Chain A
Amino acid sequence: MATTAPTALLAVEDVSVFYEKFRAINHVNIAVGAGEIVSIIGANGAGKSTLLKAIIGQADRVEGKISFAGDPIIGRSTEAIVASGIMLVPEGRRLFPSLTVEENLGLGWEVGRKGEIRFDDIWRLFPVLKDRRRQKAGSLSGGQQQMVALGRALLANPRLLLCDEISLGLAPLVVNELYTLIPQIKARGIGILIVEQDIERSLAAADHFYCLLEGKVSLTGRPGDVSRDLVMKHYFGL
């Protein structure tokens, strides 16, 4: 069994997640350090989103040990987990369409740790949102909505940011723009766990990666250390 360094911000140890009887995640070990970008890749149904759900406290049945900054968090409410410093950018953005941009962002602040990242920082990162702050979130373009989702998560002042498929359904140019922000977030010492189907993009950004296949880690390492063929082999389980 892989061991995780005691200094890890997030340590997922021997974790299994179940839907009814089905084991969606099977004895998985993952670690994310402060200021580290970790990428989880894997095909559809490999269990990537399930793992994020388990970390944020939204999975029904989780076995094993998940610790954040040294404290076990399995069984805690999402509310408590978010307040302690983990925030999710959910797949499909999941904004509240009838609320304004400002209100959507404000909810991130409300649920979070009330730290140094404030509205001004979000306006600086996404000037276009400042102009549209009184507009309903549902009226924004997909890319702008993703900015709000990311901004909402950052306003929670997370120590660990979970990004679930942030490039899904967005134009490549918009995705590029979003991904240029990832190093800036990392520079603040925030740990980032990225889940993507887009392997190239995901590996290019990551310090470390895990490839999931049918609920298990099939390959792990630093992106520079492994060949693309090897990744593909473990991605599809060939």
Chain B
Amino acid sequence: MIAVWANQLLQGVMLGGLYTLFAIGLSLSAGVMRFVNIAHGDFIVLTCYALLLLSTLLGVNPVVATLIVLPIAFLFGFVLQRFLLQRVVGENVLLVILVTFALSIIIENGLLEGFGADPQKISGGWMETATVALGDGINVGLFQVVTFVGAVALVAVLDLLLYRTGIGAKIRAVSDDVAAANLIGLSSVRIYAVAMGITFVTIGIAAGFVSIWTNFDPASGPTRLLVAFEVIVMGGLGSLWGSLAGGIVLGLAQAVGGQFDIAWQIMAGHIVFLIVLALRPQGLFPKY
């Protein structure tokens, strides 16, 4: 019985790593840039399909495929921000939501048109099936561990980037006061574009992990978005380490709920989210 629970909790923590990966890009765009991207989940799914094309058509190893996609993702984010999203920055927040909602619909239907509604998955090969035995009947999948470590590493790297580098200081300056940044000769337009490029790199990394972890289909974006929102709100908007905490809380809640009754798995996550929101609306690790 103890082993069953230990396995389940461990599984929950690992799942939290995956959820952190979903959320980290949204934490950057919504928390730091104050830009609510409704298409966040759809961009993750879109990138999953790009990886699918690379691995099926060209037979590229999924890890290599992800590495190929990352610089493209940066460029895509940069261009998207510079030439489309920048037009609604600083305007009514409703415009931002409408534009990204439109993008969400376009991506979902485009993928449906191109790939059909069938669920897809990328094979991780041996990585996917290998397990790590921790003794006493406690086992954890190697890929789950790699995902969790990847999530922690990504949070750490982004934290350093944002708080220890010149471009990080510029991004935070623009996030503090766009008009003041412009007054002293910081080009907020370019800094926004770079920040969105970085956000899309995290989306690429999330896609690399989730495309192996589980199935995806053209309509799975909004679910990813919901998870990402719950994670960043629980963690505290704009707090990167908070996102990791929020991800683990959500993963654990689902694991515990699922242990009682598998039908309660997803619902348990939402309920814990609502409880945290009610008791600590500023999140577990508030930044502001």
- List residues of A whose CB falls within 8 A of some B CB: 56, 58, 77-79, 81-83, 87-88, 90, 94-99, 103-104, 106-108, 110-112, 152-153, 156
Contacts and interface: CB of A to CB of B under 8 A. Distances in A.
B184 interface: yes
B185 A82 contact: yes
Contact of A99 (B169, B179, B183): B169
B182 interface: yes
A88 B176 contact: no
A103 B169 contact: yes
Interface residues of B, number: 17
16 contacts: A87-B184, A88-B183, A94-B180, A94-B184, A95-B180, A96-B172, A96-B176, A96-B177, A96-B180, A99-B176, A103-B169, A103-B173, A107-B169, A108-B184, A153-B184, A156-B184
Interface in B177-210: 177, 179-187
B166 interface: yes
Contacts of B172: 96, 98-99, 103
Contacts of A83: 185
Given A106-B166, A110-B166, A152 B184 contact: yes
Interface in B19-54: none
B224 interface: no
Contacts of A156: 184-185
Contacts of A78: 182-185, 187
Nearest to B168: A103
Contacts of A56: 183, 185
Contacts of B175: 98
Given A96-B173, A107-B169, A79 B186 contact: yes
A77 B189 CA distance: 12
Contacts of A58: 182-183
A111 B173 contact: no
B176 A82 contact: no
Contacts of B176: 96-99
A107 B169 CA distance: 8
B14 to A, nearest CB: 33
Contacts, number: 68
Contacts of A77: 187
Given A77-B187, A79-B187, A107 B182 contact: no
Nearest to B288: A98
A79 B182 CA distance: 8
B177 A94 contact: yes
A155 to B, nearest CB: 11
Across the A-B interface, give the 9 residue pairs with the lowest CB-CB distance, nearest first.
Answer: A82-B185, A94-B180, A96-B176, A111-B185, A96-B173, A103-B169, A79-B187, A79-B185, A78-B185
Contacts of A106: 166, 169
A111 B184 contact: yes
B191 to A, nearest CB: 11
A90 B187 contact: no
Contacts of A111: 184-186
A99 B173 contact: yes
A96 B168 CA distance: 13
A78 B187 CA distance: 8
A97 B179 CA distance: 14
Interface string B155-179: 0000000000010011011011101
Contacts of B182: 58, 78
B123 to A, nearest CB: 44
A80 to B, nearest CB: 8
A111 B173 CA distance: 13
Contact of B184 (A98, A99, A107): A107
Given A96-B176, A96-B177, A97-B176, A90 B183 contact: yes
A107 B173 contact: yes
Contacts of B187: 77-79
A106 B173 CA distance: 11
B30 to A, nearest CB: 16
Given A94-B183, A98-B175, 13 more contacts: A79-B186, A79-B187, A82-B185, A87-B184, A87-B185, A90-B180, A94-B180, A96-B176, A96-B180, A99-B169, A108-B184, A110-B186, A111-B185
A107 B176 CA distance: 13
Contacts of B179: 94
